[in-house]
Amino acid sequence: MRTLVVFMLTPFLFFAPALSAESARPRIAIGGISHESNSFNPSKTKLADFRRRNTEPFDQVLLEWAKSNDEVSGYIEGAGRLGLELYPGLVAAADPKGPVTDEAFNTLVEELIRRLRSAPRLDGLLLANHGAMVVESYPHGDAEMVRRLRQVFGPAFPIVVTHDFHANISPEIVKDSTALITYKENPHIDTKERGMQAARIMAEIVSGKVKPVQAIAKPPMMYNIVFQYTQVAPLRPIVDESRLLEKNPKILAVSVSGGYQYADVPAMGPSVVVVTDNDPVLAAREAQRVADMLWATRDKIVLNLPDAAPGSANGHGRQHWWRLVGRQHLHFG
């Protein structure tokens, strides 16, 4: 009924950053190709729909990227505090719409890989993806992207991924990434905080302090968007639990994502991802325990919608529809 998968990237035990003479600091790339795809929307998201952040002039790029209030600016602030050198790769995003075309996906991923390969030396990648990307040929575009990055850069290359709270996370991306974390809050008030957390995990990986292993548990449910407000029950106590667990020094991150329900894909739905320092049993146990907390709220997230005919006759359906749309607009991508 419930799925639980544990992944380890064993080469990290022996991983040491390759430092060149030009800089003693680890050099970490920033990348990201973000899209929240509605698979029921027939209007495809094309290459022209994606906006790329400037990557030139090189010495001003990070200053410009640091002005945003998101995970990328969190990476930059965290890296500055932790002594990481940053390399701006490719950061691109498109507004939510139908699935991404194969052409757009392949072009952007190839561009990201080309940019990363052109760096003199890289010790890791911080990847800011929304996490609910559907591509024409790939039901989980984010997982396919990380699979390709892993294939190019090898099993020992640290890839720390940050996702939106509305990510639909698959076991594949948990297998291929080194660590994956999502925003804890909806509305998304902790984007920068999560970016800083990702930078911290990356710094600990490249300095050899930690060896992340992670597990995902997905309760067999859909968490309707009207119940995804994290400041109140039923989600608030579960988000609080994720913060409490992160006080354990063996636990690097605990993410509870609500999922994005407008996508008819296998990974649709809420997820719990737990990243530990080389403790797969702890990661699996806590991921399942927090997923069980989500599952236990199932009776509290039932929507009693009127049938279409009586609903439209008395105006209730229309009011309710507007309430749903209004709530959906509480989150930004």
Which residues form the interface with Zn ion (CB under 5 A)? 164, 166, 331
Shortest distance in whole angstroms from residue 265 CB to Zn ion: 16
What radius of gyration, in Å, describes the C-alpha atoms of the chain?
20
Shortest distance in whole angstroms from residue 36 CB to Zn ion: 7
Q: Which amino acid is at 281?
A: V
Between CA 150 and CA 145 the distance in angstroms is 9
Nearer to Zn ion, 166 or 200 (CB): 166
Nearer to Zn ion, 84 or 225 (CB): 225
Shortest distance in whole angstroms from residue 303 CB to Zn ion: 20
Q: Which amino acid is at 22?
A: E
Q: Which amino acid is at 58?
A: F
Tokens of 139: 């039901």
Nearer to Zn ion, 36 or 286 (CB): 36
Nearer to Zn ion, 8 or 226 (CB): 226
SS3 content of the chain, % helix, strand, coil (to 5): 40, 20, 40
Handedness of CA 20, 22, 23, 27 (dihedral sign): negative
DSSP state of 22: T
Helix (H, G, I), strand (E, B) or coil at 51: strand
Q: How far is CA 134 from the centre of its chain?
A: 14
Give yes or no for a contact between 171 and 202, defined as CB atoms under 8 angstroms apart.
no
Phi-psi domain of 207 (left: phi exceeds 0; alpha: psi -120 through 50; beta: other): alpha
Nearer to Zn ion, 194 or 331 (CB): 331
Handedness of CA 39, 40, 44, 45 (dihedral sign): negative
Nearer to Zn ion, 215 or 238 (CB): 238
Shortest distance in whole angstroms from residue 35 CB to Zn ion: 12
Shortest distance in whole angstroms from residue 333 CB to Zn ion: 5
Q: Which helix (H) or strand (E) holds 316?
A: helix 316-328
Shortest distance in whole angstroms from residue 248 CB to Zn ion: 27
Shortest distance in whole angstroms from residue 263 CB to Zn ion: 13
Nearer to Zn ion, 152 or 189 (CB): 189
Between CA 267 and CA 246 the distance in angstroms is 25
Nearer to Zn ion, 12 or 262 (CB): 262
Return the residue nearest Zn ion (CB atom). 166
Omega prior to 171 cis, within 30 of 0: no
Shortest distance in whole angstroms from residue 69 CB to Zn ion: 15
Nearer to Zn ion, 150 or 166 (CB): 166
Query: Which residues, 6 or more positions from 215, have their beta carbon under 8 angstroms from its beta carbon?
Result: 4, 5, 6, 7, 174, 273, 274, 280, 283, 284, 286, 287, 288
Shortest distance in whole angstroms from residue 329 CB to Zn ion: 11
